[in-house]
Amino acid sequence: MAFHNRVTALLDIEHPVLLAPMDVVADGTLAAAVSSAGGLGLIGGGYGDGAWLEREFAAAGNTRVGCGFITWSLAKQPALLDRALDHAPAAVMLSFGDATPFAAKIRAAGAKLICQVQTLRQAQDAAGAGADVIVAQGTEAGGHGAARGTMTLVPEVADALPDVPVIAAGGIADGRGLAAALMLGAEGVLMGTRFYASQEAAGHAEAKRRIVKGTGDDTLRSIVFDISRRNVWPDPYNGRVMRNAHATKWFGRETELMQNAEGEAARYARARDAADFDVAAVIAGEALGLIHDLPNAGEIVTRTVAQAEDLLQKGAQR
């Protein structure tokens, strides 16, 4: 069984498996590894650092990759999009904001526009903006997101927008997730936490160790880590991270944390520089409970696809 569908055709990839453009963690090396295995690697443009972006496209070499941006942050320095498009990315993924101001430029440059959404209304707006592919992200995902669960959001978006292929994100870490996503009406998956726990990911070894050791119960959604790094996001977004001493102390006490922001922000910055993850956040989703090793990113792609193929074949036989 081979997964040939609109996503693989539009993105010109062998497997419908995409790397989430995680800020800093999804660098050029990791993106290239995912693409080389037949998926699509997306460099994490994040909040926007032009020099970093140039270095990571260079690190990806001649491998065909894309990149992703936080849309509301990109709007503050739109020239970053031009720098990315200068590298002829296969796709540009925009998340958390209106893609309309950037859509025409992306498509005119020959890149595919991928829009990540967290609600049906956002999906409809993305389609109206000309998205080639929509990523329906459930609240199980690591990092920033909203409230809808993957299980219901994906089929609702797929049903409402039959002309736009949908990719599922949130809580997916193996072939079971890919097979389930296909049954829900998606035509691929986007994985972040699973690729964070890979050899190539640009994350700290201790952060990866905690992901492998943890369970889905070890995460929470809050704005504690955003307050602590003085980067609170617009509504309705908050972030899922691994629970640690800092998050546990301040969860439910966010107003008090804001009142102590100066001291706590300095403490948090020191912890982040020292890789002290009892204070600094490991940004990961509920899928960490399905992760038990640190393979190469290419192995993650091939293993995910093979497991999904096996499950779907067995299901068809039954």
Q: What is the CATH number of the domain that holds 29?
A: 3.20.20.70
Number of domains in the chain: 2
Q: DSSP secondary structure string, 20-39?
A: ---TTTS-HHHHHHHHHTTS
Q: What's the pLDDT band for 1 if we cut at 50, 70, 90?
A: low
**Predicted model pTM:** 0.96
Q: Which two tokens stand for residue 112?
A: 């595919």
Q: What's the pLDDT band for 176 if we cut at 50, 70, 90?
A: very high
Residues 155, 39 share a domain: yes
Under DSSP, the state recorded for 40 is: B
The predicted model gives 38-45 an average pLDDT of 97
The predicted model gives 239-255 an average pLDDT of 96
Whether 318 shows a pLDDT value over 80: the answer reads no
Instruction: Choose between 235 and 27: higher pLDDT.
Output: 27
Confidence at residue 167, expressed as pLDDT on a 0 to 100 scale: 98
Share of the chain above pLDDT 90, in %: 95
Confidence at residue 239, expressed as pLDDT on a 0 to 100 scale: 96
**What three-state secondary structure class fits 167?**
strand
User: What is the pLDDT of the chain when averaged over all its residues?
Assistant: 96
Residues 247, 182 share a domain: no
Residues 242, 197 share a domain: no
- Residues 136-167: tens digit of each pLDDT: 999 999 999 999 999 999 999 999 999 999 99
Residues 188, 307 share a domain: yes
Catalytic residue annotation: 144
Asked if residues 135 and 161 have their Cβ atoms less than 8 Å apart, the reply is no
- Compute CA distances 294 → 226, 301, 303, whole Å: 28, 13, 13
Whole-angstrom distance, CA of residue 44 vs CA of residue 60: 12
**Domain, as residue range, for 129:** 6-203+293-317
Whether 188 shows a pLDDT value over 90: the answer reads yes
Phi first, then psi, for residue 46 (nearest 5°) are 55, -135
Residues 190, 43 share a domain: yes
The predicted model gives 40-63 an average pLDDT of 95
Reference 292, options 213, 219, 175, 193; nearest CA is 213
- Residues 265-280: tens digit of each pLDDT: 999 999 999 999 999 9
Whole-angstrom distance, CA of residue 187 vs CA of residue 95: 19
Confidence at residue 73, expressed as pLDDT on a 0 to 100 scale: 95
Instruction: Note whether residue 281 is domain-resident.
Output: no
Instruction: Note whether residue 285 is domain-resident.
Output: no
Instruction: Note whether residue 66 is domain-resident.
Output: yes
Residues 90, 186 share a domain: yes
Instruction: Note whether residue 262 is domain-resident.
Output: yes
- Residues 211-232: tens digit of each pLDDT: 999 999 999 999 999 999 999 8
Residues 113, 49 share a domain: yes
Residues 308, 269 share a domain: no
Residues 51, 26 share a domain: yes
At 216, which helix (H) or strand (E)? Answer: none
Residues 160, 128 share a domain: yes
